[in-house]
Every structure is written in C-alpha cells, then in structure tokens.
Chains A and B, each alone.
Chain A
Amino acid sequence: MADVNMTLEMVQASQVGMKAIGAGLAVGLTGVGTGVAEMGIGAAAVGAIAENKDFFGLGLLFTVIPETIVIFGLVIALLLLF
C-alpha cells in the first residue's frame, strides 16, 4: 500500500483521517447498539406506562440503562479526536 511518493505530511494527514473514522465508528456503532437495546425496553416500558402511570419513573430508568453504551463510545471518540 505504502506509496513511495507519499510525503510525511500525507502520512500525518491520513492518520488524522483514520482517527476521525475511528471516532465516527465508535459513536455510530455504539449508538446503533444502544438503539437496538432500548428498542425492546422502550416499547415494553411505554406499554406498562399506558397501563399504569406510576410506572413512569421505573420505565424511564429501565429504558435509559443501555444509554451507557453510547456514552462509552462518545468518551472513546473524544479521547481519539482531541
């Protein structure tokens, strides 16, 4: 792959680009993961809240539990980028 004509600047620039791709993947994939996890919980929680409003707090709590995953992704992205 390494082209003999590549200068140092080009290598550095492509490294910055790779970092950006990595950060994007970190946030994007964890976001998908969180979404998939919250999908089922959220649907069930809304159903439960429709039956009984008192369930709101607990429903919210269960729904946001997978949120941690995307936060980890965000942390990794921030560490990569800056």
Chain B
Amino acid sequence: MLAPKPMGRMLIVASRDQAAPIINELYREHMFHIEDYVEQGQGGYEGFKIGTPLKGATEASAELIKVRAIENVFAIRGEDADAKQKLSAPEIQKKIEQDLPGIEKEIEGLTGARSKLDTKAKEYEQKIVELAPFKEIPLDLALLQGFKHFSVLAGYVPRDVTISVPHEIQVVKGKERSFVLVVVTENDRARAERELQEAQFQSVSIPAETGTATARTAYYTEQIASLKKEIEAINVKLAKIKESHADLLVACEEAFRARIEQTEAPLRFATTSKVFVAEGWVPADRIAALSAALDKVTGGRVFVSEQPVDPAHDNVPVEYNNPDFAKPAQLLMDVYSRPTYTEVDPTLVLSIMFPIFFGVIVGDVGYGLLMLALCIGLWKFMKGDEVHQFLKILRNASIMSIIFGLLFSEFLGFELPWAPIIYSRHLNIGVTEAGGHGAAIAQLLIISVWVGILYVTLGRALGMINHARQDHGDHRLKAVLASLGWITVMWGILIAIWSMFPIPLMPDLTGLPIVAVGLSVGMVLAIVFIVMGVIFIARDAVLEIIEIPTIISHVLSYTRLTAVGLSSVAIAMVVNYMSIGMFINPGMKSLSIVGIVMIIVGVLIFLLGHAFNLALGMLDGGLHSIRLHYVEFFTKFYKGGGRKYIPFGMKRKFTED
C-alpha cells in the first residue's frame, strides 16, 4: 500500500538446448519482465551476442498474417470477442493442422470471387454513366459510329451553337448545358470541331454498343442486379463460415501470437554459441516459485540467481500494489504518470477521494441514479479492460453522488422529504414564498477550504517522505526541511488569519492575550512559523520563495468543490423553475389547446435541461475532482515517470497451454 510492489532481479543462465522449455515456462508463468539485452559491451557480457529466434518463428508469423487477414474480412477482433470455451494446446494444434488450411482456402476462394464480381459490377456501372447522355437519343448507338464519309460529334455545350458547314444536329436541352449530337461530312469535320470548340464544347465519347441507350442501360442495370445477388450469396456463405469458425480464428490468432512471442524471445537474451543469459524482474515474493518451476521443467539444468537490486540506479519496472477496490484508480494514475519504484504511490488516496469529491460536486440522488444506470448500460456494450475500469470509476463516483444527494437532500434540484442532513445547497431560485432556508454557502466554502488545507498538508508531508527516500547527501535534509517549510508557512498564514478575524468553523484566536509590541500569542506563533518556513524553503532553493502565494491559491482552489456543485444545483433549479413554474403549472390551470402545448414545452425543457446538466455535471465533477488531485495535490510530492512492469507472457482468453 502506498508503494509499488517489491521487485527482485533474476538472472537465468542455461545451455541453449534448454531455451525452448525455459521460455515456455516463463511465458506460462507470466511474471518475468525481460530486461532486453543490448550489445553495448557492458562488463561481464564480453563475447555475448543477441540471440536468434527459435525454430518455427517464420512459419508462425506467416500463419498469423493469414489469420489476421481473414479476421479483417470478417471484422472480428480478438479483444472484442467473448471466450466461450478455452481450447487446450493439443486441440488447437490439431485444428491448426486439419481445419485451418481448408478454411483459409475456402475463404480465399470466396473473397477472390467476390472481388471479381465487384470489379465487374463497377465496370457496368461505369458503362451506365457513359450511356446516360444518350438516353434522350432514340437511335441505335451502332448507327452513330463506323461511317466512312461522316463524323458524329457528341458532347455538351453551355449555350446555343451555330455551325456554318452543312450538318445535321440534335439538341437535348439541359438545365445548365445542352447535349448535342452533330453529324458532319468528314471534310467539314475540322471546321465544325473548331466552331464547337469556340462554344466551349466538351466532347463525350460514343459508347461502343448496339441498341438504344435506354435499352442498354436497362440491360446493364439487370446485370448489376444479378451480380449483386451473387455477391450477396457469397456474403451469406462467408457469414456462415464466420459464425461457425470465428471462435477458432481468434483462438488460432492467440496461439500464433503466443508462439511468435516465445520463438522470438531469444532476441532479447544475451547468448553465446553454447549458453544464453536472460535477465529480468519478478515480484519479490514470486522468485522462489519461479526458480522452482524452471528447475522442474529443465530437470535441474538451469542456473537461476537473484541479483541485488539498487532502487536508485536500476530502472526497476513498477507494478501497482493496491487492494482490489483501488485498482480502477490506477487508470487515472497512468494518465498522469506511473510512479517510480522509490516513490510514494498515491493511488489509494486517489481511489478513495476521487469519488468523494465527485459526489460532493454532483451531490444529487437523481443524477447519481441516472449515471449509475448509464454505467450499467455501457458495461454490456463496451468491451475491454480499460473501459471497464473506467466504468468502475464512474460507478463509484455515482454511488457517492447518491450518498451525498441523500445528505444534501437533493433530487434533480428538488428537495427530498427531509431537510438537508449536512449543509443545505438549496438556493432561493424560483421561491416565491418567503422563508426558504437557502443555502449555507459560507459554511460549505469554509469546509472546502479545510479540505484544501488538509490536502496541501498531506501533499507536503508525502513530499517529505519522497525526498527522504530519493535524495542523498547534503541535499536530502535540505529538501525534506523545505517540504516542512511549506507546511509551516501555510499554517503560519492560517494562524495569522485566525488571530485577526473570527471565522465560523475555524479556530478563533482573536481573544488570545497580547505578549509584546501589540502582538498576540497567535501572531507571534504565526510569525515564527512563517519565518522558519521561509528559511527552510530558501535554503533548498531561493527562487522557490516567489511561489509562496501559490499556497493561498492552491488552498482556495478547493473551494471549487462547493462552487462547481452550487452552479450545478443552480442550473437544476432554474430548469425546474422554467419548466414547472413557467410552463407546466400555468398550463395545468387551463387545459385548453394552449395549455396542453405549454405542458409539452415544459416537459421538453425539463428533459433537455436535466440532460444538459447531467452531462455538464459528469464533466465538471470528473474534471475538477481529478484536477484537484493532479494540480494541487500531486505537484507537491509526486513526479512519476516510472517504467511499466510488462511480464513476458499473455492473459490467454481462448486457448490453454
């Protein structure tokens, strides 16, 4: 908790003939993060080279490409598919050998035929386009070409055209341009063409067809229809294959992927002609188990040793170590940055406080229930691990919204049958009768400032821990004291304010006795705190002093918990007032046609307004809650930039080892 999983460094040495079983076992265990070997001549690795893939790598790659191509045809994706049953290794092997080639061949044949038919249909469509201008000409197209002494010119002109040579012309008037068919003698052709050119003539080639354009168009349309039918038949066949073999295809893909990853693993090891060396990271508590497993599969012909870990210099891969309920928040952590190995991991704080912040901001039973329903609805439609983690975050947030909604006594901006249990957020919007209790805005703001004070203090305290862990020598003490200095400056400012002004819900220090030069005990304490803090900060980095005002802005930034929440309440109440107070109630009084229209308009305003406010609430609630962590909390102690722990192997969905 609050720290990444402890890791151990493992060194595996064995002769090359043991590579296959060892890699297979490592892959199955799925916990060895391989440290890629790079040939840089590091000490102890003289004479080592990067390994070569095991047998079968090329074949597996070729097969994988084929299977993926088929999956593309069917638009299947392994990530989206549900595993109905897991195939065991011999089963899948048998199917790959017996069934897969047949399926591949069949699909190749079908898709080949389909693309041929497609090309033909396209060709015919092109012909129909070419025929279109001639539709109004009731002549056999064969009569328009093949003359010795005459030329037929066809094309579009934007305006009327006059030709000075003897000719015959047929004009089909169009909206913007007319289609003309001109017959001239071969001798006059050049002149006629020139004259046409001057009239911006766009030539159209005469299709080489026999029969009238209308008849040919009808013929081609018919042909296309029959081609489409054939394509449809092929599609039906493909769909049938997809239905019966989709499971097999995703399983095959997984099997090939696993095989490729295994056969190519030696590319990441250091090898000589006789032995190979694999280095990597394993969770510390699993090292013994993995060593034993490797010993077993090789019959003792492997040397495994645990290397010492230097957390400061080894770039240790980081795996989160959180209780189950906090796991979804890891997604939000990764968006910011994964913690480094030596750092405090704030996932737990985030996982608890993010939903609470969200709940405080939204704080409405109605919206909470709607979000929960949305969450449950999306759960079925959306696939994928990350999406589900995200939905879990949303679920927790909506549950907290419901809880705070009960406490604030809010339902879509209306009041529930009880008075608010904590402070009221009901604004006096649309309240006509006097005596509404109104919102306790000042108290709510002060409570959110308290949250800010505690958060900033916690952040700096964690900063002290981080500096103590990560820094060395002279700098270490200075850095730790600087973090402490930030805390004392903040509390010094607070004590000074409390000594000057009485503030509700905060300690009142105005009545403390005066000790010297008109300063009370509180003021003296405040000055000591601030001066001490400034000295601590300046000793670490003088320029940091100019950042001191951010203490105030960061603490006050937490007032958004109240402010954003109140703005969402205000929108909800305005929507209610507009729809019910201004449309539905007056409409109910006189149930004429106008009254009914008013009721309908009122209902529409109600639905649209609340949908809008729900969307806004989710965006606001989420963004502001996460931002209060990212900006005001994390910047005080958290750096991140850790390396992700990616164990060698995969989570098998469709196959078994």
- Whether the pair A64, B623 counts as a contact (CB closer than 8 A) is yes
The CA-CA distance from A82 to B423 in the complex, in Å, is 14
Please choose the segment from B22-30, B364-372, B500-508, B551-559 that sits at the chain A interface, where 4 or more of its residues have CB less than 8 A away: B551-559
Residue interface mask A32-46, B partner, CB < 8 A = 1:
000000000000000
Closest CB of chain A to B96's CB: distance in Å?
35
The CA-CA distance from A65 to B563 in the complex, in Å, is 16
User: Is A74 at the interface (CB under 8 A from chain B)?
Assistant: yes
- Whether the pair B337, A58 counts as a contact (CB closer than 8 A) is yes
Given contacts A57-B335, A58-B337, A82-B441, are A75 and B627 in contact (CB under 8 A)? Answer: no
Contacts of B335 in A (CB 8 A): 56-57, 60
User: Is B257 at the interface (CB under 8 A from chain A)?
Assistant: no
- Whether the pair B563, A75 counts as a contact (CB closer than 8 A) is yes
- Whether the pair A58, B336 counts as a contact (CB closer than 8 A) is yes
**Other-chain contact of A78, B556, B566, B623 (Cβ < 8 Å):** B566
Given contacts A58-B336, A71-B560, A75-B445, are A82 and B439 in contact (CB under 8 A)? Answer: yes
User: Is B564 at the interface (CB under 8 A from chain A)?
Assistant: yes
Closest CB of chain B to A12's CB: distance in Å?
15
Residue interface mask A52-75, B partner, CB < 8 A = 1:
000011101100110110011011
- Whether the pair B563, A61 counts as a contact (CB closer than 8 A) is no
The CA-CA distance from A71 to B562 in the complex, in Å, is 10
User: Is B586 at the interface (CB under 8 A from chain A)?
Assistant: no
The CA-CA distance from A75 to B444 in the complex, in Å, is 11
User: Is B631 at the interface (CB under 8 A from chain A)?
Assistant: yes
**Other-chain contact of A57, B337, B441, B445, B560 (Cβ < 8 Å):** B337
Q: Which parts of B616-643 form the interface with A (CB within 8 Å)?
A: 623-624, 627, 630-631
Contacts of A1 in B (CB 8 A): none
- Whether the pair B563, A78 counts as a contact (CB closer than 8 A) is yes
User: Is A4 at the interface (CB under 8 A from chain B)?
Assistant: no
- Whether the pair A68, B563 counts as a contact (CB closer than 8 A) is no
Contacts of A82 in B (CB 8 A): 427-428, 438-439, 441
User: Is A79 at the interface (CB under 8 A from chain B)?
Assistant: yes
User: Is B223 at the interface (CB under 8 A from chain A)?
Assistant: no
**Other-chain contact of A71, B336, B427, B439, B564 (Cβ < 8 Å):** B564
Nearest to B438 among chain A residues (CB) is A82
**Other-chain contact of B627, A64, A72, A74, A79 (Cβ < 8 Å):** A64
User: Is B567 at the interface (CB under 8 A from chain A)?
Assistant: yes
Given contacts A57-B335, A58-B336, are A68 and B564 in contact (CB under 8 A)? Answer: no
- Whether the pair A71, B563 counts as a contact (CB closer than 8 A) is yes
- Whether the pair A65, B441 counts as a contact (CB closer than 8 A) is no
Chain B residue total in the interface (Cβ 8 A): 26
- Whether the pair A71, B445 counts as a contact (CB closer than 8 A) is no
Given contacts A60-B630, A75-B563, A82-B441, are A68 and B553 in contact (CB under 8 A)? Answer: yes
Nearest to A54 among chain B residues (CB) is B337
The CA-CA distance from A71 to B559 in the complex, in Å, is 8
Q: How many pairs, one residue from A and one from B, have CB atoms within 8 Å of each other in the complex?
A: 56
Closest CB of chain A to B560's CB: distance in Å?
4
Contacts of B631 in A (CB 8 A): 61, 64-65
Contacts of B564 in A (CB 8 A): 71, 74
Contacts of B557 in A (CB 8 A): 68, 71
Contacts of B428 in A (CB 8 A): 82
Closest CB of chain B to A37's CB: distance in Å?
13
The CA-CA distance from A75 to B335 in the complex, in Å, is 29
The CA-CA distance from A82 to B438 in the complex, in Å, is 8
- Whether the pair A61, B427 counts as a contact (CB closer than 8 A) is no
Contacts of B441 in A (CB 8 A): 78-79, 82
Closest CB of chain A to B613's CB: distance in Å?
16
Residue interface mask B523-562, A partner, CB < 8 A = 1:
0000000000000000000000000000001001101101
- Whether the pair B336, A72 counts as a contact (CB closer than 8 A) is no
- Whether the pair B630, A57 counts as a contact (CB closer than 8 A) is yes
Closest CB of chain A to B385's CB: distance in Å?
17
Closest CB of chain A to B394's CB: distance in Å?
17
Residue interface mask B330-367, A partner, CB < 8 A = 1:
00001111000000000000000000000000000000
The CA-CA distance from A60 to B627 in the complex, in Å, is 9
Contacts of A68 in B (CB 8 A): 553, 556-557, 560
The CA-CA distance from A75 to B631 in the complex, in Å, is 19
Contacts of A64 in B (CB 8 A): 623, 627, 630-631
Closest CB of chain A to B493's CB: distance in Å?
17
Q: Which parts of B51-66 form the interface with A (CB within 8 Å)?
A: none
- Whether the pair B336, A61 counts as a contact (CB closer than 8 A) is yes
Contacts of B563 in A (CB 8 A): 71, 74-75, 78
Contacts of A74 in B (CB 8 A): 560, 563-564, 567
Contacts of B623 in A (CB 8 A): 64
Nearest to B556 among chain A residues (CB) is A72
Closest CB of chain A to B572's CB: distance in Å?
15
Contacts of B566 in A (CB 8 A): 78
Closest CB of chain A to B503's CB: distance in Å?
14
Closest CB of chain B to A72's CB: distance in Å?
7
Contacts of B553 in A (CB 8 A): 68
The CA-CA distance from A35 to B478 in the complex, in Å, is 39
Interface-central residue, A75, A78, A79, by most chain B CB under 10 Å: A78
The CA-CA distance from A67 to B560 in the complex, in Å, is 10
Contacts of B334 in A (CB 8 A): 57
Closest CB of chain B to A35's CB: distance in Å?
16
Contacts of B627 in A (CB 8 A): 60-61, 64, 67
The CA-CA distance from A60 to B332 in the complex, in Å, is 12
- Whether the pair A57, B567 counts as a contact (CB closer than 8 A) is no
The CA-CA distance from A81 to B66 in the complex, in Å, is 68
Q: Which parts of B553-592 form the interface with A (CB within 8 Å)?
A: 553, 556-557, 559-560, 562-564, 566-567
Sample (19) of A-B pairs whose CB atoms are under 8 Å apart: A56-B335, A57-B337, A60-B630, A64-B623, A65-B631, A68-B556, A68-B557, A71-B557, A71-B563, A72-B556, A74-B564, A74-B567, A75-B445, A75-B556, A78-B562, A79-B441, A79-B442, A82-B428, A82-B438
Nearest 8 Cβ contacts at the A-B interface: A57-B335, A57-B336, A74-B563, A71-B560, A61-B630, A64-B627, A68-B557, A75-B563
Known: A71-B559, A82-B427. 20 other contacts (CB 8 A): A57-B334, A57-B336, A57-B337, A58-B336, A60-B627, A60-B630, A61-B627, A61-B630, A64-B630, A67-B627, A68-B553, A68-B560, A71-B557, A71-B563, A72-B559, A74-B564, A78-B441, A78-B566, A79-B442, A82-B439
